[in-house]
Amino acid sequence: MRARRADIDLLRGLAILFMVEAHVGGTLAPSDLSTSAPLGLLAASIGGLAAPLFIAVAGWGGLQAARRRLGSAPGEWTAWLLPRVLLLLAAQLLVNVVMSPVFHWSTPGVLSLFALLALLMPLLARLSLRTRVTLLILLACAPLLLSDWTGVGWTWEQRIRADDLAGWFGLLLLSGTYPLLPWLCFALLGGLLADHDERRRRRLLLAGVLASVATLLWAQANGETWASISGDSLLTFFPASTPFLVVSGTCVIALHELVGRLPSTEGRLGQAIGNLGRLSLSVYVVHFVPLALWNHFVEPFDPSHALALVGTLAYVLLWIPLGSWWHTHLPRLSIEHLLKECTRRLTAVTASGPERTGRRD
């Protein structure tokens, strides 16, 4: 059996903690909180890094899994892909229903992006390193080339709701919350981090730092706002701008290098976060439930800055022991286990097919 990478599990755990922070921070944000204030800047920085790290780690794992299946029979690919696509889309639907005040029931989100990435992994695993680097660069420039298609200036309602199937695919591919173009670049980045040696990763990090500093200097020199969730600024999350892709990608590389240099990822805290990371999909879905209950029973509520900070930290940190306990005591009660079990059973069915008919592959 393959040994799991403790550092990747730790990165996956950090990614889900960042995602939890982004969502609970948005739920508990005081009405007068500015992104230029220290608390607002910290929340925006962590929230802005959450999805890029989450997708990059998914790309790292998906590419390794797809490579192990190169040369497999079509039935084995089906047994691997079908459960992932269906369960991820079902989980996205569940999240949308639970968070119905925020999302429309059919809104494509990060989980539907994961489903689409799974479908692309057999192709991406066959691409050369140079081709994937070229594709990454093109995707990073996509917001500049396709700005009229990404929904610049759209309201939140326009970004989450589609009137027909064509509109839904438009949100999934170009103008939704996490469209394939350009968010695929973070999955490619995760694969590059797996393939590059330390020297190349350092060069990539240095180039990213220089480019990130250049965006900050450009904003200051031209009197522009450097970063905001959306609107008229250099770095925007909705839609993801090219400067945002560069800066957040650089932060992903930096975190990857930092975690890889930790003296040990087997300490009590590191192991707990790693265990949390092994159930990242399940935690992503379940952590919305308390937030939905809060929105239903407690809102409207306008906390002070101190109460919002304490509440956000408490909810985020709670998931470290809770997620570790879940993985230790109830690992079978998770999306991850369901994926493995469905894949195992489908693989067994496809493998027994030729034997039943007397044929050999």
169-194 tens-digit pLDDT: 999 999 999 999 999 999 999 999 98
Answer whether residue 360 is part of any domain: no
Residue 328 lies in a domain: yes
Whether residue 248 is contained in a domain is answered as: yes
pLDDT confidence bin for 94, thresholds 50/70/90: very high
Quote the distance between the C-alpha of residue 176 and its chain's center: 14
Flag whether pLDDT at 333 surpasses 90: yes
Q: Cα dist. 85→51, 93, 183 in Å?
A: 19, 12, 18
Q: Mention every residue, 6+ apart, whose C-beta is less than 8 A from residue 305.
A: 30, 33, 37, 39
Whether the CA torsion 79, 277, 284, 38 is positive or negative: it is negative
| Whether pLDDT at 1 is above 90 | no
pLDDT of 356 higher than 60? no
> Based on the structure, what is the number of domains in the chain?
1
Of the pLDDT bands very low, low, confident and very high (cuts 50, 70, 90), residue 361 is very low
Would you say residue 342 lies in a domain?
yes
* Predicted confidence (pLDDT) per residue in 129-174, tens digit: 999 999 999 999 999 888 878 888 898 999 999 989 999 999 999 9
Domain membership of residue 153 (yes or no) is yes
Query: At residue 357, does pLDDT exceed 50?
Result: no
pLDDT of residue 27: 86
Q: Which residue has the higher pLDDT, 10 or 152?
A: 10
In a domain, 1, yes or no: no
Q: How many Cα atoms occupy the beta-carbon half-sphere of 322 within 13 Å?
A: 14
What would the pLDDT profile of 288-330 be if each residue is shown by its tens digit?
Answer: 999 999 988 887 778 888 888 899 999 999 999 999 999 999 9
Q: What would you report as the CA-atom Rg of the chain, rounded to the nearest whole angstrom?
A: 21
Domain region containing 188: 6-355
Using DSSP bridges, classify how beta strands 227-228 and 235-236 pair: parallel, antiparallel or unpaired. parallel
pLDDT given at position 161? 92
What percent of the chain has a predicted confidence (pLDDT) above 90? 65
- CA–CA separation, 141 and 246 (whole Å): 10
pLDDT in tens, 45-76: 888 899 999 999 999 999 999 998 888 888 88
Cα-based distances in Å from 45 to 38, 49, 235, 248: 10, 6, 11, 9
* Domain contains 128: yes
Beta bridge pairs of residue 228? 236
The pLDDT of residue 252: 96
Per DSSP, the three-state class of 229 is coil
pLDDT at 92: 97
> DSSP letters of 149-208?
GTTTT--HHHHH--SSHHHHHHIIIIISSS-HHHHHHHHHHHHHHHHS-HHHHHHHHHHH
CB 58 within 8 A of CB 112: no
pLDDT at 355: 47
Single out the residue of 168, 30, 45 nearest to residue 109, CA to CA: 168
- DSSP for 275-342 reads HHHTTHHHHHHHTHHHHHHHHHHT-S----HHHHHHHHHHHHHHHHHHHHHHHHH-TTSSHHHHHHHH
Is 202 inside a domain boundary?
yes
pLDDT in tens, 218-259: 999 998 888 888 888 899 999 999 999 999 999 999 999 999
pLDDT at 354 over 60: no
- The residue-averaged pLDDT of 266-283 equals 91
